[in-house]
A and B are shown apart, each in its own frame.
Chain A
Amino acid sequence: GDSVTQMEGPVTLSEEAFLTINCTYTATGYPSLFWYVQYPGEGLQLLLKATKADDKGSNKGFEATYRKETTSFHLEKGSVQVSDSAVYFCALSGESGGSYIPTFGRGTSLIVHP
């Protein structure tokens, strides 16, 4: 079945540092890829998405590029802020028998210090 693997956290950075959170996936066909973010005490919310190979999703300074050749969708941000501290989930939505089955990674906790 489909699976998503994320780097283990927590990732601890100083404010204005560069962020990379690695995500690789295994899926049949051509899934859509997503990054969700969960701030403390809140529900998951979509951060960005990409629906086909070489697409780049971006939002709030975060970017991720759908790399089919390496089956990856790494999340990056050039300069993190304290307010970016949260748990980040990589996910895919793959088609199976006409249905779209969502699969999530385990999440990576990001802690940004001032």
Chain B
Amino acid sequence: EAGVVQSPRYKIIEKKQPVAFWCNPISGHNTLYWYRQNLGQGPELLIRYENEEAVDDSQLPKDRFSAERLKGVDSTLKIQPAELGDSAVYLCASSIEGDEQYFGPGTRLTVT
């Protein structure tokens, strides 16, 4: 069974530029999570989807971050415009009904 797939693995952009991350969860997993992980910290939830519906996005900075999960499968997280403080690893995870989560390898974003 394939795991959670994320792309790209690494991204370097200049501040004020847009960037997008893509996640393909494990087949059959209805819950999808996006996290941000700063260096030396634990993952911080940005948004959680139940199928196509965003059920918790209270931690998502909505002025510059957006996310979508079309058809309840793949998901995209976008930042526009990026700021220096957005440099972090962005993790995607999926689960069945909020049980144990399966994480992707993450996308390491560097904003210069």
- Give the B-binding residues of A (Cβ under 8 A): 4, 34, 36, 42-46, 49, 89, 91, 93, 99-107
A49–B40 alpha-carbon span in the complex (Å): 23
**Nearest 4 CB-CB pairings of A with B:** A104-B42, A100-B98, A43-B103, A44-B103
Cross-chain contact B42 with A42 (CB below 8 angstroms): no
Cross-chain contact A107 with B101 (CB below 8 angstroms): no
Q: Which residues of A sit under 8 angstroms from B100, Cβ to Cβ?
A: 34, 46, 49
Cross-chain contact A89 with B42 (CB below 8 angstroms): yes
A44–B40 alpha-carbon span in the complex (Å): 14
Interface of A is mostly: strand
In this complex, how many residues of chain B approach chain A with their Cβ under 8 Å: the count is: 22
The answer to the question of B91 belonging to the interface, with a C-beta cut-off of 8 Å to chain A, is yes
A42–B102 alpha-carbon span in the complex (Å): 12
Q: Determine which of A43, A104, A105 lies in contact with B106 in the assembled complex, contact meaning CB atoms within 8 Å.
A: A43
Taking the closest CB of chain A, its distance from the CB of B7, in whole angstroms, is 13
Query: What would be 16 A-B contacts, judged by CB atoms less than 8 Å apart?
Result: A42-B105, A43-B4, A43-B91, A43-B106, A44-B43, A44-B91, A45-B102, A46-B102, A91-B42, A93-B98, A99-B48, A99-B56, A102-B101, A104-B42, A104-B43, A107-B40
Q: A36-B103, A104-B44, A107-B41 are in contact. List 11 more A-B contacts (CB 8 A).
A: A34-B100, A44-B93, A49-B100, A91-B42, A93-B98, A99-B98, A100-B98, A102-B45, A102-B101, A104-B43, A107-B40
Cross-chain contact A46 with B41 (CB below 8 angstroms): no
A100–B91 alpha-carbon span in the complex (Å): 18
Q: Determine which of B41, B56, B93 lies in contact with A101 in the assembled complex, contact meaning CB atoms within 8 Å.
A: B56
